[in-house]
């Protein structure tokens, strides 16, 4: 085949012996087309191998059929933190039976953030998905002001105005702590995520809530703040061991931090779980590979991805729709570290 150039809707119209509009109607599934015209158009499309030019369509409809998934690369370490990969998979799944394309934006620094907002202003995407938002993140507000549909995985604060989906962080953490209490642990410490993130605060809150309910100490000296990285977990563990040598249990707010903590525990000669019981959060594949395998709180990350994709599509279709706040359940997965 080949010939000269790509066929346009005009070529198809000529071939089928109809007008451009009729071709457009067939393509967009309008009812107002006679059967014979439709057949002729479909035949012409097949013969010519015609595919509508989405850019031209986008110009007139002012839709691009693509959304952006924004991931802050700085803190995320896409790759060592499985969370982001799972979100990507989920979002991709949520888009699967749509013609919506996924644009991946890894934001490293301020410059790339400006590039992002410019890209948004240039109307390259119909909506934005934001992952791992901090309380003072300027991005959600900027996007909201630009009037662009925006959905978050997680939230800036409990008062989040934008649509978002996240897992039951409080409940998950509390379940972890209850499990440790049931196992007869006395001194239950925690390593938290960054406290300028709701996910960090919520898991800390769940830890505290469950301890209080059990009549246990939940004082600040039992808390070490880290940054969701393995090295952070290691250092936090070191600091906890220094302050509270008698600790016999740890709830880490992520599997990766738990892994770091476990390596520090081993380095200091503590046995897991005999001396110290450890629980993580996420149930990423890391949890199955630590030694011993890690008890952890499973959160449905892929489903979060699917959910925010679905919500965003809905908001793009109907910009006036109510904002949605979805909370997904967590589940305690007991392995050998407790």
Residues that bind DNA (CB under 7 A): 5-6, 8-10, 17-22, 24-25, 27-28, 31-34, 36-37, 50, 52-53, 56-57, 59-62
Cβ proximity to a copy of itself: between 92 and 268 the closer is 92
Cis peptide before 42 (omega within 30 of 0): no
Residue 36 token pair: 């014979």
CA distance linking residue 102 with residue 313, whole number of Å: 12
Report in angstroms how near the CB of residue 54 gets to a copy of itself at its nearest: 4
Residue 184: which of a copy of itself, DNA, none does it interact with, CB under 5 to 8 A by kind? none
**Binds 99: which of a copy of itself, DNA, none (CB < 5-8 Å by kind):** a copy of itself
Distance from C-alpha of 256 to C-alpha of 77, rounded to nearest angstrom: 11
Interacting partner of 17 out of a copy of itself, DNA, none (Cβ under 5 to 8 A depending on kind): DNA
Position of tokens 């097949």? 46
CB of 303 to DNA, least distance (A): 33
User: Residue 223's closest CA among 195, 199, 198?
Assistant: 195
Kindly state the smallest distance separating residue 44's Cβ from DNA, in Å. Answer: 12
* Distance, CA of 225 to CA of 241 (rounded, Å): 14
Closer by beta carbon to DNA, 60 or else 159:
60
Nearer to a copy of itself by C-beta: 247 or 259? 259
CA neighbours closer than 13 Å in the CB half-sphere of residue 179? 25
What is the contact surface with a copy of itself in residues (CB under 8 A)? 6, 49, 51-56, 58-59, 62, 64, 66, 69, 73, 78-80, 82, 84-86, 88-89, 92, 96, 99, 101-106, 108, 112, 115, 118-119, 121-124, 259, 285-286, 289-291
CB closer to a copy of itself, 11 vs 103: 103
The region, left, alpha or beta by phi > 0 then psi within -120 to 50, assigned to residue 245 is alpha
Q: Closest distance between a copy of itself and the C-beta of residue 309, in Å?
A: 12
Q: Which is nearer to a copy of itself, 187 or 263 (CB)?
A: 263
Q: Which does 110 bind (CB under 5 to 8 A by kind): DNA, a copy of itself, none?
A: none
CB of 223 to a copy of itself, least distance (A): 26
Residue linked to tokens 């110009």: 59
C-alpha 89/C-alpha 273 separation (Å) is 33
Residues contacting 34, CB < 8 A, separation 6+: none
* Distance from C-alpha of 114 to C-alpha of 101, rounded to nearest angstrom: 22
Least gap, CB of 44 to a copy of itself (angstroms): 16
**What one-character-per-residue DSSP string does 231-273 give?**
HHHHHHHHHHHHH-TT--EEEESSHHHHHHHHHHHHHTT--TT
Residue 28: contacted member of a copy of itself, DNA, none (CB under 5 to 8 Å, by partner type): DNA
Element (H, E) at 208: helix 198-213
Q: Which is nearer to a copy of itself, 126 or 198 (CB)?
A: 126
Least distance in angstroms from the C-beta of 78 to a copy of itself: 5
Alpha helices in 49-151 (DSSP H): 54-61, 73-76, 82-94, 110-121, 138-145
Using CB distances below 5 to 8 A depending on partner kind, what does residue 33 bind out of DNA, a copy of itself, none?
DNA
Instruction: Between 28 and 136, name the residue whose CB sits nearer to DNA.
Output: 28
CA gap 47, 5 in Å, rounded: 14
With CB cut-offs between 5 and 8 Å by kind, which of DNA, a copy of itself, none does residue 96 bind?
a copy of itself
């Amino acid at each position: 085949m080949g010939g000269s150039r790509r066929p346009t809707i005009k070529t198809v119209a000529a071939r089928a012996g109809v007008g451009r509009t009729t071709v457009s109607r067939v393509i967009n599934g309008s009812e107002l087309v006679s059967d014979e015209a439709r057949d002729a158009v479909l035949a012409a499309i097949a013969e010519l191998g015609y595919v509508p030019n989405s850019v031209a369509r986008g110009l007139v409809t002012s839709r691009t059929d693509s959304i952006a998934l924004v991931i802050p690369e700085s803190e995320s370490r896409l790759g060592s933190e499985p969370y982001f990969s799972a979100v990507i998979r989920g979002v991709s799944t949520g888009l699967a039976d749509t013609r919506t394309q996924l644009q991946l934006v890894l934001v490293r620094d301020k410059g790339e953030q400006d590039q992002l907002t410019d890209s948004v202003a240039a109307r390259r995407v119909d909506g934005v998905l934001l992952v791992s938002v901090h309380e003072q993140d300027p991005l959600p507000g900027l996007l909201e002001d630009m009037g662009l549909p925006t959905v978050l995985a997680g939230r800036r604060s409990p008062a989040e105005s934008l649509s978002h989906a996240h897992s039951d962080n409080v409940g998950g953490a509390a379940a972890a702590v209850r499990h440790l209490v049931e196992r007869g642990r006395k001194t239950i410490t925690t390593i938290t995520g960054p406290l300028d993130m709701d996910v960090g605060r919520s898991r800390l809150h769940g830890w505290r809530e469950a301890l209080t309910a059990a009549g246990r100490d939940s004082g600040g000296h039992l808390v070490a703040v880290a940054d969701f990285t393995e090295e952070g977990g290691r250092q936090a563990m070191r600091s906890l061991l220094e302050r509270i040598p008698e600790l016999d249990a740890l709830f880490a707010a992520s599997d990766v931090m738990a892994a770091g903590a476990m390596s520090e525990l081993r380095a200091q000669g503590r046995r897991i779980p005999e001396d110290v019981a450890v629980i993580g959060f996420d149930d990423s594949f890391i949890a199955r590979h630590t030694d011993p395998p890690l008890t952890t709180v499973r959160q449905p990350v892929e489903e979060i991805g699917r959910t925010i994709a679905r919500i965003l599509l809905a908001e793009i279709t109907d910009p006036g729709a109510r904002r949605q706040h979805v909370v997904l359940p967590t589940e305690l997965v007991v392995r050998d570290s407790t």
